Structure 1
Amino acid sequence: MLGYYILEVAKLDVEVAGVLDKAPLTVRRPPPKNLSKRKIGKIANSNWSVAYNSKEGLENVKRIFFLLDKHLYRTPVLEHILHIINKLPSNTSEDKTCVNDMLRWYIEFRKRILAIIPKVFDRQTSEVKLEE
């Protein structure tokens, strides 16, 4: 039963899917039209999103992270989101707490699932590249 549960999680989670050589079935939400005006690290609690920069080659590209799409981001990106929201003083402590609690919970959940995979399946999680 645990194996079937992990396979269901792999349909949504990019890191778990990567370890199991599966493709996640979901896609990210489209960026809002006002993305260029959004401040990096500022939490928009209307839709629980955060603008962040992502390196593509030599350039930084502004992207948007939606909390509901956390399963589509690799752990280093989630940790980067945590870092930028916590260092921005204009985010309220309540907003930071909400995002921190959800992301830290999800990161721990994911780590536990990844730790179980070698025991349930014939896979090694340490070989997986963790990049966006």
Structure 2
Amino acid sequence: MLNLLLQLSPRRPVVRVETIERRDFDDQRLRELHALSNALMAERFEHFCVHARTNDVVHVFRRADTRAIVGFQFWKTARLGLPRSRAIVGGKLRISPDFRTRGLHLSSGLLSMTRAVARKLLRKATPG
């Protein structure tokens, strides 16, 4: 759904979002994200990986035409002091300067929230 909304944007080039779960954070994917991050703010790959792997998911924004990464944001959930409650915590955010006025971080936040709500509904619907 979010990709459809991004496609309808009058801004060009069109951007698409890809969600990657922590279990799929391999070195190749993390190196690709690190390349953008390091170009914007110098950071050793090992340090980048330590922080990346503390998160549950990353939303990767790519140009639809070239598939080049133009941004990403990591997310995780944390326990709250309330029953059956968790907080959604935004992690490392990097957006290429040419794509910063598109609200991609807001799209990523909405996607994280809908993901958390969907997981909660699935847990309620699953017997046992």
TM range, normalised to the smaller chain? 0.3 to 0.5
More strand by share: 2
More relative contact order, 1 or 2 (CA 8 Å, 6+ apart): 1
Give the TM-score taking structure 1 as reference length.
Answer: 0.34
Greater fraction of residues in helix: 1
